[in-house]
Amino acid sequence: MKILTCTTPGTLAYGTADMPTLNPGNALLKIKRIGICGTDLHAFEGTQPFFSYPRVLGHELAAELIDAGGAEGFTEGEAVTFIPYFNCGHCIACRSGKPNCCVNIRVCGVHTDGGMAEYLQVPANLLVHGEGLSFDELALVEPLAIGAHGIRRADVKPGEFVLVIGAGPIGLGIMEFARIAGAKVIAADVNEQRLAFCSDNLKVDYTINVKSEDVTERLKEITNGDMPTVIIDATGNQKAINSAFLYLAHGGRYVLVGLQRDELIVSHPEFHKRESTLMSSRNATREDFEHVISSMKSGLVNPQTYITHRVKFDEVKDNFESWLNPANGVIKAIVEV
């Protein structure tokens, strides 16, 4: 079967591999769609934490189920996606119902080879029914689940001001599920084109261009001086993460969805006087996947809004680097296999 490997930063290479020989408890998928995410792009750049080369990328996947591997209730030939965070089932996190941050986690396409291939085997217990959604829609469930999980971590309440920093695909998903939770959403980014996308396509309440506006003053204006009670970072940018501590309302919650390599730097007095809550949000759980699928089926989320670029599998290598350029307006690139 054909595969595409990121051999070193900046280098992709097509190759072939043997068809997977199913391990006990695994299901076999025929890959139909691959969503390109920030993790893939950062791996190509050489800036993705917890990453080693060579690696077959790809974990935003939609597939035809070839062999259910004994999973109950699944039918061979049905459209599926899956939870791409392979957990051990035994550690403290797994025993506590948090398999998304398993001590021994292996994320498909990061710690183990992913779905830029014709076929892939995955743990059968991580299969997710397609529920009548298209392959395009199913490929977008995982990134949207990241956003849904961040909102659940923040415990967003109706009417709260939620500042989402970073209007990339993950940030956009966070905005969607903040809106669904009843929040008043504020999008902040340096890219005016993406901010316009937030207003026009996601009906975000407020936008702030960090490059051209005084963020603090604008937030005071929007929130009548209170500042946002929830801030969620989706940039993974150290300067953005550190700066946002000063944007938080007293008693507020700050959730880090984006990931960067370096230190958090915060004024302890400023953080302390707010009695702030700082938390991370990693991956997502089955509950989040089901919430996304339900939101798609009910029309609360239109996944087609996100797809701006589409290529065939044989065209990925020639197009991949261009998706890093903000001028190309990529929100979500989808690969057809």
Distance (Å, whole) CA 174 – CA 168: 10
Are residues 246 and 182 located together in one domain of the fold?
yes
Q: Among the residues of 224-285, which ranges form H helices? A: 238-243, 268-273
Are residues 127 and 24 located together in one domain of the fold?
yes
Are residues 160 and 71 located together in one domain of the fold?
no
The owner of tokens 């591999």 is 17
What mean pLDDT value characterizes the chain?
96
Residue 82: CATH number of its domain = 3.90.180.10
- Cβ-based neighbours of 83, under 8 Å, separated by 6 or more: 126, 128, 142, 284, 285, 286, 289
User: Residue 62's beta-bridge partner residues?
Assistant: 33
Distance (Å, whole) CA 333 – CA 120: 20
Distance (Å, whole) CA 176 – CA 183: 10
> pLDDT > 70: what percent of the chain?
100
Is-cis flag, bond preceding 54, omega within 30?
yes
pLDDT class for 48, splitting at 50, 70, 90?
A: confident
Amino acid at 107: V
Are residues 77 and 157 located together in one domain of the fold?
no
Are residues 113 and 218 located together in one domain of the fold?
no
Are residues 170 and 216 located together in one domain of the fold?
yes
- Can you tell me the mean pLDDT for 11-29? 95
Asked whether residue 296 is assigned to any structural domain, the reply reads no
What pLDDT is recorded for position 100? Answer: 98
For the cut 90, the answer to whether the pLDDT of residue 50 exceeds it is: no
Number of domains in the chain: 2
What pLDDT is recorded for position 51? Answer: 84
Are residues 26 and 131 located together in one domain of the fold?
yes
Are residues 325 and 237 located together in one domain of the fold?
no
In this structure, the number of other CB atoms found within 10 A of the CB of residue 274 comes to 17
DSSP secondary structure string for all residues of 93-107: HHHTT-GGG-TT-EE
For the cut 80, the answer to whether the pLDDT of residue 16 exceeds it is: yes
Range of the domain at 75: 2-139+302-336
Q: Helix and strand tally (H, E) in the chain? A: 11, 18
What pLDDT is recorded for position 278? Answer: 97
Asked whether residue 291 is assigned to any structural domain, the reply reads no
What is the biggest distance separating any 2 CA atoms in the chain, rounded to whole angstroms? Answer: 61
Write phi, then psi, for 271 (nearest 5 degrees). -70, -45
Residue 74 near residue 47 (C-beta atoms within 8 A): no
Over the stretch 285-323, which tens digit does the pLDDT of each residue have? 999 999 999 999 999 999 889 999 999 999 999 999 999
The long-range contacts involving 220-227, CB below 8 angstroms and separated by at least 24 positions, are 222/161, 222/186, 223/161, 223/249, 226/161, 227/161, 227/252
Are residues 167 and 253 located together in one domain of the fold?
yes
Over the stretch 123-132, which tens digit does the pLDDT of each residue have? 999 999 999 9
Over the stretch 135-176, which tens digit does the pLDDT of each residue have? 999 999 999 999 999 999 999 999 999 999 999 999 999 999
What pLDDT is recorded for position 76? Answer: 95
**Torsion of the alpha carbons at 224, 225, 229 and 232, rounded to the nearest 10:** 100
Asked whether residue 35 is assigned to any structural domain, the reply reads yes
- Cβ-based neighbours of 158, under 8 Å, separated by 6 or more: 181, 182, 183
Residue 158: CATH number of its domain = 3.40.50.720
What pLDDT is recorded for position 304? Answer: 87
What pLDDT is recorded for position 47? Answer: 82
Asked whether residue 287 is assigned to any structural domain, the reply reads no
- Please give the model's pTM, rounded to 2 decimal places: 0.94
Distance (Å, whole) CA 88 – CA 141: 23
Over the stretch 194-240, which tens digit does the pLDDT of each residue have? 999 999 999 999 999 999 999 999 999 999 999 999 999 999 899 99
Are residues 125 and 159 located together in one domain of the fold?
no
For the cut 90, the answer to whether the pLDDT of residue 327 exceeds it is: no
Are residues 331 and 259 located together in one domain of the fold?
no
Between 328 and 292, name the one with better pLDDT.
292
Residue 332 near residue 168 (C-beta atoms within 8 A): no
pLDDT class for 245, splitting at 50, 70, 90?
A: very high
Are residues 246 and 316 located together in one domain of the fold?
no
In this structure, the number of other CB atoms found within 10 A of the CB of residue 236 comes to 21
